[in-house]
Structure 1
């Protein structure tokens, strides 16, 4: 299984969202549309191209801290193992050991959620838009992480180490680090994001084939739907 598909599985199990791939280093925004390819969303454009607008809203922040089974995390201060890294000016490190390949260490201390408030109205407008295709999926919610650290293993029995002064690593675990961190590893990582901010997850909808009403797509299956009442009498497709 590829890194992208595995990351999508992780976000589904933890947040019930689709992966924004690549995580953090992307330009996804509300209203983007596209298709699912190889298990992940591929952006093609934005619904603004069809003259469709929406009302954005910001939800309560959440967080994501995930370690794959068999992952061991050890912290060191001045060469000695410690339970937590204090905010002091001493050399420190965080060692991450993966026992299996395609394992993940994900630390997103702050996730900000932005969503469309009027999904049903947007769906009804797209239904009438010339050139709109049923296969398109639309981003109606984004999960943006602040100061995210995401590391994955290409191979089993891999180990990686984040090194910096303790005060920098302390801020990293709070999602506030802004650089000065070195990542080293015995083997190449499949994914390396260190203290960066950006979109991590997406929620998507599409239009039903026959009714044109909006279906929220679960991350584990594009056929698992939740229907919104558009309040508009739409003809069924035949």
Structure 2
């Protein structure tokens, strides 16, 4: 299984969302539509192309912190191991050890959620839009991580170290770092994002085959295996 699929499974298990691939360094937005390719959502355009508009709403912020089994994290200040990074002007590091290949360290201190509020109305408008295809999926929620750090291992027994002054690493853990951090051991990394802000997860809907109502995708499996969650609309009983 590739890195993208594994990251997708992590986000699905932790947040019940699909991965925005590549995490953080992408251009996904509300109303984007597309299809799945090799288990990852691929953007084709935005529903604005079909003259469809929507209202938006913001959700409460959350946090995503994930460590694959066998990942060990150790923190040091001035060469001494510490339980937490203090906000002091001393050299410090965060050591991340991966015992197996294709493992992940994910830390998004602040996740903000933006959503399309009127999903049922948007679905009804798309059903009438010329050129719209039922296989298209639509982004109706984006999960944006602030100050995200995402590292994955290509090889077993890989070690990475984030180094900076302690006050900078403390800001990294709060999602507020803006540079000054170095990463060693990156030659064995399958994915590396350090203290960056961007979209990490998506929620998607598609139109039903017979009624044209809206169904929320619950997994990234092929269409005949996807589980759906009804997004209540007037056509539910048809």
Do they superpose with TM above 0.5? Answer: yes
Does 2:219 match 1:226? Answer: no
Counterpart mapping for 1:46-65 below 5 A:
46-65=46-65
Residue matched to 2:72: 72
Residue matched to 2:15: 15
Counterpart mapping for 1:179-218 below 5 A:
179-185=179-185, 187-218=187-218
SS at match of 1:226: strand
Question: 2:51 & 2:164 partners in 1: Cα distance?
Answer: 49
Q: Are the equivalent residues in 1 in contact too, given 2:213–2:236 (CA < 8 A)?
A: no
Question: 2:236 & 2:162 partners in 1: Cα distance?
Answer: 57
Cα RMSD (Å): 1.5
Change (3 A) 1:23 1:233: closer
Per the TM alignment, residue 175 of structure 1 is displaced from its structure 2 partner at its CA by 0.4
Q: Are the equivalent residues in 2 in contact too, given 1:124–1:230 (CA < 8 A)?
A: no
Counterpart mapping for 1:1-238 below 5 A:
1-185=1-185, 187-221=187-221, 223-231=226-234
Instruction: State the number of aligned residues.
Output: 235
User: Which shows bigger deviation, 73-82 or 221-230?
Assistant: 221-230
SS at match of 2:102: coil
Q: Are the equivalent residues in 2 in contact too, given 1:73–1:96 (CA < 8 A)?
A: yes
Deviation digits for residues 147-202 of structure 1 (CA, Å, limit 9, x no counterpart): 00000001111110000000000000000000000000174200000000000000
SS at match of 1:26: coil
Question: 1:192 & 1:41 partners in 2: Cα distance?
Answer: 20
SS at match of 1:205: strand
User: Which shows bigger deviation, 129-138 or 218-227?
Assistant: 218-227
Deviation digits for residues 102-135 of structure 1 (CA, Å, limit 9, x no counterpart): 1000000100000011101100100000000011
TM-score, normalised via structure 1 length: 0.96
TM-score, normalised via structure 2 length: 0.96
Q: List gaps (5 residues or longer) in structure 2.
A: none
Question: 1:135 & 1:22 partners in 2: Cα distance?
Answer: 22
SS at match of 1:231: coil
